[in-house]
Structures are given as structure tokens and as C-alpha cells.
Amino acid sequence: MSFQASYAEFASPRPGDTATSSRHLAPDCAGLDFFALDRGLRDLLGVYLPAQAHQHLLPHFQRMGQLSGGRLNALAAVADKYAPVLHARTRWGEDHDWIEYHPAYQEMEHIAFADFQFHAMGHRAGVLGCDAPLPPAAKYAFQYLFVQSEFGQMCPISVTDTSIHLIRKFGSPALQQKLLPRMLSPDLGSLWKGTQFMTEKAGGSDVGAIETIAREEGGQWRLYGEKWFCSHADADVVLLLARPEARLAAPVALRCSRVPRRLDDGSRNAYRIVRLK
């Protein structure tokens, strides 16, 4: 059959077709096992993972494949219909900026951060019973299975994972000691998720155009400016790019600050979330 003929058949309904007919639609993947049906992935894992890790992780890949076609798929369909809601204040009128999520979203968070610990699997031992951090190929294979049902969660997962990476690589020992146990936690009640605030109206691709200013005042850094886009506004630890005031003349001299959502005394830091996109 030529391409043109098959396109014409797809485009023109035939007598007897009804609105509910699924004859012309892509097949529904709900209920399928995304790992079992993906021979390419299974073969590649055998090539790229060390034999022992491959053998140990196989049942976990199988479980994720079933979850992705099953429970996760059902939860994602519900969460898509109930977008998160930004609340600027608490009921007592305090400026707290908290975000309310549907229980379906929260259950997906549980699968991602508590059960599979995506954010921590590349950084520490103990995830999925492994005695070392998972190899990158294993982490990305889990993510590949997960996002076939739920892509939205991948933003908080990814920015937490990458923030941990930056803090491990560049943070002082004291900062690492303070942040990493909480950021690597599998307990959603005490976990500190991460994020990055970089993009501004003036500076997306052109990071050198960033206008947010970092000013040293009374022995601590204060940040003045507005960010424009971020994958995970609801984070506990923000890594933020700003221009140190003393070096305003240098176009690429930027400083990466760690901004806590809550200060050491427990109070809410003074930044505001303007809206959810």
C-alpha cells in the first residue's frame, strides 16, 4: 500500500464508522507491561549493565514496566485533570506560598521518591537493595520506563537529582553535611527536594544577560530580582544564578547561591512564587 493510499484511508471515515470506533486510533497501551514488550530495552540493558547489577535490577525493571502500564498510567490520567493549585497564604494570612496537589499526584510522588528513589539512585547505596549507587544506564532505563506514563514528575525528580550532583561536586563539606542527608532521603515527610532558578525574562539561552543581583549585606548574601521559569517551584533547596553586585561590569561573572525555602529558624524565606504555568 502506498503512503498516499494509507493516509487517505486514515483521513476519510467509511460508511458505518462511528465516533466511538477505535479502528483509526493508535492502540491503547493501558494495562501493558512496558518492560516485557520492549525487547530493544531489555537487550541493551544486557549489554550496558554489569552482569551482577543487571541480574539484581531485573525484577525492579519488571515491576516498573508493570507499574508504568498499570497504576502509574491510571494515576497520571487523573493527575492531568487536577492541576496543582498555588496558595499564596496560609489560612492565618501568612505569606507561605504552598502548593496543593491531588492525591493521585502524591501517590506518583511516592512511587518516584520513596519506592524507587529516582532522585537518590545515582548518588548513594541502599536504593532498591543495591550496595552501591546505580550505574547511569540503569537510572536512565528506569526513567525511560517511568516517563512513558508520567512525564510531569520527571521535572522534580531531575532537578532534585541534578541539584544533589552540583552540591556534591561544588558545595563545601559543611553545606553537604547540612543538605545531603535530607535531599537523599526516601522519606517524603522529611525529604528536601531541589531545583534550579536560572531563567529570566532577559536571560534564557543567554545566561550572561541575567539581571538578578546578589548583594553581600551584613555578612550574608541577599538576592534581588525575578526569575521567569522553573521546573519545580515547590522545592526546599534552590540553586539560583545571580550577578554579584561588585562585579556588575563583567558579563559572565555569575554566582550560584543556595537558597533555602525555610531559614534556619523555620520561617519561610522571603521569595514569592507568582504563578504556576
Ligand X SMILES: Cc1cc2nc3c(=O)[nH]c(=O)nc-3n(C[C@H](O)[C@H](O)[C@H](O)COP(=O)(O)OP(=O)(O)OC[C@H]3O[C@@H](n4cnc5c(N)ncnc54)[C@H](O)[C@@H]3O)c2cc1C
Q: Contact positions toward ligand X, by CB under 6 A?
A: 159, 196-199, 204-206, 229-231
State the Cα–Cα distance between residues 104 and 40, nearest whole angstrom. 31
Smallest distance, ligand X to C-beta of residue 98, A: 19
Q: Residue with CB nearest ligand X?
A: 204
Q: Which residues contact 243 (CB under 8 A, 6 or more apart)?
A: 210, 211, 212, 213, 214, 253, 254, 255
| Cell numbers 537493595: residue | 129
Smallest distance, ligand X to C-beta of residue 188, A: 21
State the Cα–Cα distance between residues 264 and 218, nearest whole angstrom. 17
Pairing status of strand 95-100 against strand 85-89: antiparallel
DSSP type of residue 134: P
| Identity of the residue, 22 or 205, whose beta carbon is nearer to ligand X in the bound complex | 205
Smallest distance, ligand X to C-beta of residue 132, A: 29
State the Cα–Cα distance between residues 57 and 53, nearest whole angstrom. 6
| Identity of the residue, 127 or 159, whose beta carbon is nearer to ligand X in the bound complex | 159
State the distance between the two ends of the chain, measured CA to CA, in whole angstroms: 44
The full DSSP string for 26-45 is: PPP-TT--TTTT-HHHHHHH
**C-alpha R_g of the chain:** 23
Smallest distance, ligand X to C-beta of residue 193, A: 12
| Identity of the residue, 43 or 206, whose beta carbon is nearer to ligand X in the bound complex | 206
- Tell me, what amino acid is at 133? P
| Identity of the residue, 140 or 229, whose beta carbon is nearer to ligand X in the bound complex | 229
| Identity of the residue, 127 or 241, whose beta carbon is nearer to ligand X in the bound complex | 241
Strand partners, 194: 237
| Identity of the residue, 91 or 277, whose beta carbon is nearer to ligand X in the bound complex | 277
Smallest distance, ligand X to C-beta of residue 195, A: 6
| Cell numbers 528513589: residue | 117
| Identity of the residue, 120 or 159, whose beta carbon is nearer to ligand X in the bound complex | 159
Smallest distance, ligand X to C-beta of residue 204, A: 2
- Tell me, what amino acid is at 185? S
Smallest distance, ligand X to C-beta of residue 274, A: 14
